[in-house]
Amino acid sequence: MIWWLIFLAVILVLVGIAYLRGKCDGFIAGYNTSSPEKQKKYDIKRLRLIVACFHFALAVLFFLYLMKNADLAATIHLSCVAILSVVAIVLANTWAKKRGN
């Protein structure tokens, strides 16, 4: 189980780096399927940063999960993932939107 979590954390870091380099815009949920008019409402650089930071934070949580007591860590881990998800959604809908649109 330890190797699986380490592998998943490394994959999350690599995907986060790919987002920062602008290689995975098509994988951002909702951005790829929206119309070009709606895509123009968002600052793609900020959106990439939000998604990349979300991936990096999840990777850190997986590493922290390995260092904690399994019962308590599972509860803390799920709570942190839920909080991170809400923060990412709020930032994507506020900070990543272009002003004046």
Candidate ranges 14-18, 28-32, 79-83; pick with highest mean pLDDT: 14-18
Q: What is the DSSP string of the chain?
A: -HHHHHHHHHHHHHHHHHHHTT--GGGSTTTTTS-HHHHTTB-HHHHHHHHHHHHHHHHHHHHHHHHS-HHHHHHHHHHHHHHHHHHHHHHHHHTTBPTT-
> Does the predicted model carry a pTM greater than 0.75?
yes
* pLDDT 10s digits, 34-89: 999 999 999 999 999 999 999 999 998 888 777 766 666 667 777 888 999 999 99
Domain residue ranges in the chain: 2-94
Look at residue 65 in the predicted model and tell me its pLDDT: 78
